[in-house]
Structures are given as structure tokens and as C-alpha cells.
Chain A
Amino acid sequence: MGDLSEFSLKYKLFLRTYPWRKIDPVPFAEVTKPLSESRLGLVSSAGFVPPGQPPFDDTIRGGDPSFRCIPHDCDPSSLVESHKSDAFDHSGILADPNLALPLERIQELEAIGHIGSIAPRHLSCMGSITAPGRLIKNTAPEAAEVFIQDKVDLALLIPV
């Protein structure tokens, strides 16, 4: 894996011809503290929705660019995975949400002192957004603001 071999011809063609946005220049924030003193936040593109929050809107052309805040202390089994794509197998995440949002795994890493602390809120957006203009302009900066407010030191981003 790691290449296009798992996809149908339709998705292979799309992925090969899609005009990916190149990040240029590559922004780079310096790491200022050891991992063992850093607060870690997670970002998942699985479209996880916690109880009581609105679902993602599948009718928005180009993809719903919004994000949901996921309290770290939520019950992982209460999260609804709503990634709209039929290009991949959803059954692994349905069986174990840690596969895409490893809340229990980072709890273990905190317990052994590998990381300093955990963000009170993680973030989830919808993947496969084909028109990322609103994401770049509005929602990604808003998502960053959540982590700034919560004094997050490091972010790990996990696609599906």
C-alpha cells in the first residue's frame, strides 16, 4: 500500500489528475519543548461527530469544510464516523475508532510519561474535500485557534 493500487480505476484517475494544492513555502514551527513536556492534540479527517453536534453536510458541493471539536474525555464508541467516501473500507474504524482517532492510545502514552499532556479538545473534519478554498481561508485557521486557546504544543494529523 502507500500507492494507488488499492483504488478502483475511477479513483485512480481522480487522484492522478486532481490539482493538489502545493504548500509553498512550507510553513515550519520549531519544537520548543521535549515530548514529555508537550501537550498533544489530534486532528482526524474521518468526519467524527460527537453526540449532540450537527452532522456534516453531504450536500455542500466540493465538501463540507467545517470541523467538530471532540472532547478528549468522550466515550470513543459514542463518536459517529461519517466520512462520505465509498473509496475505502469503513469497517475497521467502526470496529475500533482508535484506528483513526487514537484517544485511548495517547492516554496510554500520557500515563507512561511519553507525552506531557493531552489537549482537552481534538478536531475532526471531513476528508475528500475537493474544493478546499473555504477550508484554507476559514476553517483551518479557526481550527488552529482552538488549539491555540487550549495551549496545544504539538498536533498529530491522521487522515483516513
Chain B
Amino acid sequence: MSLVAAALERRGIPTVVIQLLRMVAKKVRPPRALFVPFRHGYPLGQPNNPKLQRQVLEAALALFEVPTPDIPLFAEFPHNP
């Protein structure tokens, strides 16, 4: 995923990567990543839980609004566990 993100960024398209494994993000270093505390196969939390899915999406999209971030920009979901 992060390798595709890099290709998009090189063409001028900003990206956020949702990240299930912290270890991978730290090694590969996508430009912006949201760490989520879910297991593989469940990147937005739970099936048929639109509220939770929307919360994850909104947290990911919020990373586009961080002014002049330090890159790579890593954030956590949820902010206040």
C-alpha cells in the first residue's frame, strides 16, 4: 500500500495510508499514516458498523488538514483510547 502511496505522491496526489501494523509503517515510511487498533481483514473496524467506519475515515481524512506536517506524519486511532 505504502509503495502505491509513494507513486501517487510523486505525481502530486497527497495520500493517507491506514495502517494495521505499526512495525511496517516505521520500516516502509508512508508520508501520512493512521494506525488503527484492528486485526487484519478489519481495516475500518467492524462490518455493518457505519458509525465506526465513518469515524476511522474522518480521522484518516483529518491528516490531510494538518498544516505543514513533519513527514512522515503518523497518527493514532482513536486519539483518546
A40-B4 Cα distance, complex, nearest whole Å: 16
Report the nearest B residue to A41, measured CB to CB: B13
A6-B13 Cα distance, complex, nearest whole Å: 33
Find out whether the CB atom of A105 lies under 8 angstroms from the CB atom of B57: yes
From 1 to 37 in chain B, residues with beta carbon under 8 angstroms from any chain A beta carbon are 1-24, 27-31, 35-37
Find out whether the CB atom of B71 lies under 8 angstroms from the CB atom of A99: no
Is there a chain B Cβ closer than 8 Å to A1's Cβ? yes
Q: Which residues of B contact A72 (CB under 8 A)?
A: none
**Known interface pairs A6-B40, A156-B18, A157-B17. Does A26 touch B72 (Cβ–Cβ under 8 Å)?**
yes
Interface residues on A, range: 35 or more
Residue from the list A7, A35, A89 in contact with B65, Cβ < 8 A:
A35
A93-B31 Cα distance, complex, nearest whole Å: 27
Find out whether the CB atom of A92 lies under 8 angstroms from the CB atom of B21: no
From 129 to 160 in chain A, residues with beta carbon under 8 angstroms from any chain B beta carbon are 132, 135-136, 140-141, 143-145, 147-148, 152-160
Q: Which B residues fall within an 8 A CB radius of A?
A: 1-24, 27-31, 35-48, 50, 53-54, 57-58, 60-61, 64-65, 71-72
Q: Which A residues fall within an 8 A CB radius of B?
A: 1-4, 6-7, 15, 20-24, 26-31, 34-35, 38, 40-41, 43, 45, 87-93, 95-96, 98-100, 102, 104-106, 108-109, 114-115, 123, 125, 127, 132, 135-136, 140-141, 143-145, 147-148, 152-160
